[in-house]
Structures are given as C-alpha cells and as structure tokens.
Structure 1
Amino acid sequence: MASAATKQNTISFERIQYASQVIAQQTEAVDRLGKQLPAEFDLAIELMLGCRGSVIVTGMGKAGWIGQKVCASLASTGTRSHFLHPAEAIHGDLGRIGPEDLVLAFSNSGETSEVVTLLPSIKKFSVPLIAVTANRNSTLSKQADLVLDYGKTCESGHLGLAPSTTTTLMLVLGDAIALTLSHERKFQPQDFARFHPGGSLGRRLSLVEEIMRPIEQCRVAVEDETVRSIYIRSKSESRRSGAVMVVARESGKLAGVFTDSDLARLLEREQDSQFDQSIAEVMTHGPVTVTRGTRLEVAIETLACRNISELPVVDSGGVPIGLIDITDVVSL
C-alpha cells in the first residue's frame, strides 16, 4: 500500500503537470499569433495613428476586463484612450464618444449581445470601428471597418469553456497594438514618466532635479572654511544630509565633498587638529556627480555601483544645484 506521502507526491505531480499543460496550450496559441498577425493589423495601426480624438475601448465580461487593461496601456504609452462599458453605454455613457474618436471592440464570438446592441449607435456617430475577435463572420465583424481576427482556438482546461486562451490572445494582441503605436509615435522614457508620476516606476523615470534635495536644503561650504565652523553652522538644520558640498570661492563650482564618514575617520584617528584646518585639506576632490536632466534611475545605479550614499547634482557649468541622498531613494 502506498504511503500517504507517496500519494501526496503523486497528486502534486499531477497538479503541476496539468498547470504546465494549460500554460503550454496558451503559449502555443500566442506563438501562432506571433507568426501570423491578423491581415489588417497594419491598417488598424495606421487608422489609430491618424485618430485625432480618443480610442474608445469596449467589451463585455472577461473581454471587457482585457479591454480595460488594453485601454490603460494605450493611455500610458501615448495614445489617448477611454473605456466604455457596453451595458452602461445605452444608459447615457454613449456621450463619451466624440466625432474624432475611434472604437476598438473586444468580443471573442463577435456576437456578445451588449456589444452588438451598441453597433447601430456607433454607426450613427460615424466613427471608425475596429473589431478584435475570433470570428470574422460575426455580426461585429460584418459591421466593423477593420477586423483583427486572431482565429478560432480552444480554451484551456479539461472543460474548455472558461475564457482563458482567447483572453490571452486578446491581451497579447492589445499589447501589440499599444506598443506598436507607442513605437511609431517615438514615445520616450520622459514621456512615460510624465504619465506615471506616482509609485516606484514613476520616480525611477523622474529627473534628478525633481527628487533631489534642493541646494537651499543642502550643506554647502567654501573650500577655505574650517571643518569646525561648517559643522557648527549646520548643527541646527532639521534635515541634514550626510555630506557637505564644497565649492570654489571664486567660481562657485563644486570642488569636493566631505561626508559624515570622513568626519568619523578623523575622530577615530584622533586627528582633532584637522577640525580647524580648511575643509579642502580633508575633502574628497573631484567627486562623482550627475548633471541636471539625468534620470533618477541612472543616479540610483551610480549610487549602487560606486557604493556611495550622497550624489551631488550639478548644472552644465559644474555648479551644485542639489543633492541625491540614498535615504531619499532607498525604497525605490
């Protein structure tokens, strides 16, 4: 008689094998789509590039959820887009469609009743309609200006009923549309950052001057000042950074930095006499810097690669304008 552990191992193996089959089936479907995109894909891209309004995405049920994701991807990558719930549309939300818009409708069968009900109204608006469907002969396809037909496919799983492979194909095709449009529009990282100001992604794509501690909040000293005088002057600062940026008296350009670690080394070596010498004698000359306009992700990489905690930000002339402190970006 097999032990309980053996039975459990067998069950676990069968579950993993089943899950792998589901993934393999969807992978194969995506691979087929990648090798043979819908014939009218390029025409659809041209039509959307020429759209002067918004791409209005619609779909019902699981296709609607995919449509909402595609809508969000379009909006965040340079294509103005809004989602229109088909059931709400006939109760007033049709007012979201403007004369310069374009409708992108998702429906696997092309016969989804809520979507089909919208078709006469969409025609009255005289806006282009692109269908994303598996059925080129459906009601939706026949009334659409262009059809992105990803072909008939079987759903995953032992029942083959729950939308799975078809929604995967919709999602992949929707992403292909959004990212192709973004590529054609020459959408740049700084554009992406403009639409993603929140969260770690948005902050990483920000420019250093948007995140840095401005010069007014930094400790700045002239190279002939003494260490003691500098620290006495800055002891009342509420948000003290761990570095003093040292500038040349005449030019104002960054000459070096003196960190709290440098101060600790003087104390450890009992070099107290250095406190009353000019800071230029003990500072780090020619420190690592970044210039205004650098993306924050580059600054973070510099902090990590150089194993430093403070990174001065300078203008094109080498004059410090702020400081990136590792404590400000450690959570990104």
Structure 2
Amino acid sequence: MSPKSETPNPKSGETDYAAFAREVLNAEADAIRRIEIGPSFTAAVQLVLDATSGPSAEAPGGGSLVVSGLGKSGLIGQKLSATFSSTGTPSHFLHPVEAMHGDLGRIRRGDAVLLLSFGGNTEELVTLAELLKQDGVPMIALTKNDGPGNGLARQATVTLPVGDITEACPHELAPTSSTTAMLALGDALALAVSRARRFTADDFQKFHPGGGLGRQLTPVVEAMRFAAGQNLSLIDLGTVVQDAYALAEQHAKDSGLRRPGALLVVHPDGTLAGIVTDGDLRTALIRTGPQVWSEPIDQIMTSSPTTLSDTALVRDAVHIVREKRFDEIPVVAADGKPVGLIDVQDLAALKVIEG
C-alpha cells in the first residue's frame, strides 16, 4: 500500500513530513518482506557459480557476471555489479543501449548475465536478451514476475521475481518500492554466491585495500607500533616498579619512540601475567604515596587482562576500545606470549577512531 497522497502542510510543522516518511519506509520494507524465495533462487546462485568459478573451454580465464538494466533499474544494476565484484565474483555493468552500438563484445561465451527490469518489457533490455539467448548465454532476469506477458522472463534461463509491488510514490509512478526490492534481492544473490565461495574477511580486505573498510580489516600486528623485545619492554613478575619504568624509558630512548602508555608483565615462562597502565600507576600513587615505587610490579598490575590474538584484525581492536574504553590492549600469540601492544593512538593514526 502506497503512502497517502495528501501534501503535508508546512505550517503544521515537521510532524506531517515525519509521518509521511514513516509511511514510505514501511511501504518499501513491506515490498522486501513479501519477496518469496523459491527454487529459482538456488538455480540463480548455481548459474553464477558455474559461470564465474574458474576457467572453462568458453572462458579460459574464467567468466564474469555482466549486469544490465536501464533507467532506475540500471542504477540498481550498477550497485549490484559493484557488490558482486567486492565479494568475490568478477562483474561489470553493461548499458543495454551501448550494447546495441558495439559494446555487446563485452559479453563473452562463458559469462553469465543479470538483467534488471521491474516490468520486464523494457524494449532495449528484451532485445539484448533475445540476442544473448541466440548465443546461448545464460541469463538471470530480476523482474516483477515470470508470467507469459513478461518479455524478459521469456528469454531468461532463470527468473527471480520480486512480485507485484505498489510503489511508495503517492502517485504510484516513481520507481521506489520496486527498486528497493530489486536491490535487496540482488544483494541476497550476491551474498549467497559469496557464501558458496567461502569468501572470507581476508579475501574482502584484498578487494578493499583503501578506505575505512580496508583499514578495519588490516591485521592488528601490522597496525601496532610497539613490538615486544624491540620498543616494548616485557617486565618480569616481581620487578620493582621504579626499575620497571626505568627499563621502559630506556627502551623508548633506544628506539626513538615515545614510551607506550602501559607495561606488560610476564611469567617466568614468558606468558602474559598482566598489564600496568599509566592510569594504574597514578591510582597507586594516590592510594599509597611515593612508596609505590619500591613495590613489586605485581601489586599494581591488572592480572589476566583483555587481549587480542596476533591473528586479530584492527576492527577487533576498535570494538574493544569502543566497548570497554581501554586505551591499550596487549596482543598475544597462540602460546600466550605477548608480541606487542596496540594503543588508541595507533587506531587514531589509521583513522578508524577519533583520536
């Protein structure tokens, strides 16, 4: 059901606009909820996998998923092509009109094609589908239905119907709910294919080396500045506080870097015993006075602190910093021995949090 077509009265404040906006969102959400997922979806996943999973006689270098659509559907298609590409499926977008004027050569034998048209009878797209069918190119139609009156569905190998949809536009003219539904179903297809490929976070990082996503997926050991035995002191249990800090200052001087805001304390076997932050030291000084400098480091350390594995990603460090408000997090190997320390300034330098 589309939102009411009454024009909000500006003099009544923003309440009318807010109510209208909720109606639009509800209409688009309903369009997604009503999509039925059946056997054709599984067939579409397999069609994409068969075309793009590796070399074949038709595509020695492996096939691609070519996406095409016109108008608003074309814009949705461009986004879906980008999603496939970033989640492990080679893909590019082809404008159906340009295809009729020389760009049809972008589609090779061995490729698969995803065609988007809500009504299913966009002339340029149906013509493209007819030509592709003659060449035996497998096609997926993302469209309203698979009925006999749908020209695109008649040509396609597999049809993914989004169903009958009433646009959120009050006049039921502007593509709104229909394009939202096509986008959602296309995303589901892309992610299902990605899941079938066992596409991992490491794979994702390879396709996103820059920007916030790439930085979030950087291994934490590549982001930390303080490495154990280099510019980060490992303090033995029982070491006097004053001696521990003197050792840390000397390491900082030798490395040319500032001293980290925490010391890591280790057991005789080298495994992590605890952490002492500068905040811990201040608290101890307030509580017991200057004599704290003569106490064993054990007395002021936090035992069994929250740690990160040396296989963790920067996003894992960001989660701990945001959830627990820690400024320093020890990074440990599988054997429990510390390999370094990542602090909030390391994350700020990557621009994944605000410094």
State the alpha-carbon separation in 2 of the partners of residues 302 and 19 from structure 1: 36
Residues 151-190 of structure 1: pairs in structure 2 closer than 5 A: 151-190=163-202
Deviates more, 1:126-135 or 1:230-239: 230-239
Tell me what 1:3 maps to: none
State the alpha-carbon separation in 2 of the partners of residues 281 and 48 from structure 1: 61
Show CA shifts across 1:261-283 (max 9, x none): 344456656527827x7756655
State the alpha-carbon separation in 2 of the partners of residues 267 and 252 from structure 1: 28
Give the 3 Å change call, closer, same or farther, for CA 241–273 of structure 1 in structure 2. closer
CA shift for structure 1 position 102: 0.4
Q: Secondary structure at the match of 2:34?
A: helix
CA RMSD of aligned residues (A): 3.3
CA shift for structure 1 position 174: 0.9
Show CA shifts across 1:275-319 (max 9, x none): 7x7756655454432222134343334345554321111112223
Decide whether the 8 Å contact of 1:38 with 1:150 is kept in 2.
no
State the alpha-carbon separation in 2 of the partners of residues 222 and 150 from structure 1: 63
Residues 45-56 of structure 1: pairs in structure 2 closer than 5 A: 45-52=45-52, 53-56=63-66
Residues 158-307 of structure 1: pairs in structure 2 closer than 5 A: 158-213=170-225, 215=227, 218-223=231-236, 224=239, 225-235=243-253, 237-247=256-266, 251-265=269-283, 270-271=289-290, 274=293, 283-307=301-325
Code of the aligned partner of 1:26? E
Tell me what 2:337 maps to: 319
Q: Secondary structure at the match of 1:322?
A: strand
Give the 3 Å change call, closer, same or farther, for CA 285–218 of structure 1 in structure 2. farther
State the alpha-carbon separation in 1 of the partners of residues 304 and 315 from structure 2: 22
State the alpha-carbon separation in 2 of the partners of residues 16 and 160 from structure 1: 20
Tell me what 1:147 maps to: 159
CA shift for structure 1 position 144: 1.6
Decide whether the 8 Å contact of 2:34 with 2:163 is kept in 1.
no
Q: Does structure 1 residue 110 correspond to structure 2 residue 112?
A: no
Decide whether the 8 Å contact of 1:266 with 1:274 is kept in 2.
no
Give the 3 Å change call, closer, same or farther, for CA 96–210 of structure 1 in structure 2. farther
State the alpha-carbon separation in 2 of the partners of residues 141 and 273 from structure 1: 79
State the alpha-carbon separation in 1 of the partners of residues 78 and 189 from structure 2: 14
Decide whether the 8 Å contact of 2:231 with 2:252 is kept in 1.
no
Code of the aligned partner of 1:321? V
CA shift for structure 1 position 60: 1.1
Residues 35-184 of structure 1: pairs in structure 2 closer than 5 A: 36-37=36-37, 40-52=40-52, 53-123=63-133, 125-134=135-144, 136=147, 137-184=149-196
CA shift for structure 1 position 38: 6.1
Q: Secondary structure at the match of 1:45?
A: helix
Q: Secondary structure at the match of 2:233?
A: strand
| Structure 1 portions without partners, runs of 5+ | 1-6
CA shift for structure 1 position 39: 6.0
CA shift for structure 1 position 104: 0.3
| Structure 2 portions without partners, runs of 5+ | 1-8, 53-62
State the alpha-carbon separation in 2 of the partners of residues 12 and 160 from structure 1: 23
CA shift for structure 1 position 61: 1.0
Q: Secondary structure at the match of 1:245?
A: strand
Q: Secondary structure at the match of 1:69?
A: helix
Show CA shifts across 1:63-122 (max 9, x none): 011111222222233333222222333444333323221000001232323323423542
Decide whether the 8 Å contact of 1:220 with 1:247 is kept in 2.
no
CA shift for structure 1 position 128: 0.3
Instruction: Give the total of aligned pairs.
Output: 322
Give the 3 Å change call, closer, same or farther, for CA 160–221 of structure 1 in structure 2. closer
| TM-score, normalised by the number of residues in structure 2 | 0.76
Decide whether the 8 Å contact of 2:70 with 2:117 is kept in 1.
yes
Identity of aligned residues (%): 39
| TM-score, normalised by the number of residues in structure 1 | 0.80
Decide whether the 8 Å contact of 1:39 with 1:148 is kept in 2.
no
Q: Secondary structure at the match of 1:109?
A: coil
